[in-house]
Chain A
């Protein structure tokens, strides 16, 4: 990773806060620290990197404080934080484009490096063996012999673009096969490989086709493998995934939903409405299922909105109609989970299959968005 930690002359980097980036006398900016930290924190897992980004954002917001209209400072800060994160990703991405040549598949060095290196090699060999003859040749010609895509295209009579695409697909497959080899596991279902492949290549359309999100909820192996694959894929700003297992995840989910909706320009009431609905739905997952995921996606068509899809691997709802009727409750609640969330949303659908799990899809459009 070539992304170097940034230091600021007036700020001690050991201080993991961000508060000290704001000189006294800027109460508005200081008040933004929590939200900025959330925005950054939801995108960057490394704490020290996140702290640096928070500080960088605050420095920018401070500089702009005078220019920003009153009341707009928070949205300005959110936008700035996103930009700061995005530009870090761009840097990382550039580094990564060249990275696969040398270190793509190498885990961080540890004391057992030697042993690991050998296991690693075996895994790579096994992964390579799973590729087709043609895929192997292509990969070796490009990565090892260093022949560029144009030369390869001329040899095979296709275009450089096509060869590059093929290389990308092959690398995506190699990553999947490598992870499987490291795990020493054979995928339990026929769906695993296509799903992992779709995740590995970062192809959203393909992921939808194979219903990747759903599968990851249901399949433990794929859930485990999806993390390194998703981390590696193109970071996308308009979709976030929040794994839901514990009480704390409910809070994280509604925060993320609120923040996504804020980016769509929702009114403050609708932000709370969205957060409340998410809270209800996420709680259902924690109460009734082992695990689930909330996928929040920004919509632009036919106008600005937010779609939230909550999936779990629970027992399923035997009678969806009844569950949507007021007063239905199987745990010690008020029976408002599903019907309440439905009242808060513009569109709401529940699909459930006994023994397999439940998917709740809900959409909220920005008000005044309709022409």
Chain B
């Protein structure tokens, strides 16, 4: 946990991790965030990850790529990722930049993100429970 608590927060909620970015991050802070988050996914054996980016003023190619990386690494560790809170301006700028088709699940806000994970993860969690897995 070497991430400055003022910049991001990663909270655990049941089988999910909720990561909020609180301010504009530079590239190295973004990379550190990625490490911390992926690390925690492994440690907590999380089934779902929500990344709240509502506070980001810009999602450029690096930011988008980092989100995609996190989602991919989370998938390899058995967790679904959903990015929430992309603002209208940011969404349009991303599309104009050419990042519009980035392969990450998205939802409007935290509430929607949780609903999405419940839909996407819950059935599998039920199966796991039946098979006696954690």
Residues on A lying within 8 angstroms of B by beta carbon are 246-248, 250-251, 254-255, 258, 268-269, 271-273, 275-277, 279-280, 283, 286, 326, 333-334, 336-337, 339-341, 343-344
Contact = CB atoms under 8 A, between A and B. Distances in A.
Nearest to B94: A276
A340 B89 CA distance: 16
A343 B97 contact: yes
A348 to B, nearest CB: 13
Nearest to B61: A336
A269 B98 CA distance: 16
B93 A333 contact: no
A269 B89 contact: yes
Contacts of A344: 93, 96-97
B99 A334 contact: yes
Interface string B52-66: 000001111110110
A283 B62 CA distance: 9
A343 B94 CA distance: 11
19 contacts: A247-B26, A247-B29, A250-B26, A251-B25, A255-B57, A269-B89, A272-B58, A272-B92, A272-B93, A273-B96, A275-B58, A276-B59, A276-B96, A279-B62, A280-B97, A283-B60, A334-B65, A336-B61, A340-B99
User: Chain A contact residues: over half helix, strand or loop, or mixed?
Assistant: helix
Interface string B78-93: 0000000001111011
B102 to A, nearest CB: 9
Interface of B: 24-29, 57-62, 64-65, 87-90, 92-94, 96-99
The 6 residue pairs across chains A and B that have the minimum distance between CB atoms:
A272-B89, A247-B26, A336-B61, A279-B60, A340-B97, A276-B93
Contact of A254 (B58, B88, B89): B58
B18 to A, nearest CB: 23
Contacts of B87: 272
A247 B27 contact: yes
Contact of B65 (A248, A269, A333): A333
A63 to B, nearest CB: 29
Given A269-B92, A337-B61, A276 B24 contact: no
Given A269-B92, A280-B60, A280-B61, A336 B97 contact: yes
A276 B58 contact: yes
Contacts of A250: 26-27
Nearest to B25: A251
Contacts of B90: 272
Nearest to A251: B26
B89 A271 contact: yes
A269 B88 contact: yes
Contacts of A251: 24-26
B76 to A, nearest CB: 18
A252 to B, nearest CB: 9
Nearest to A248: B26
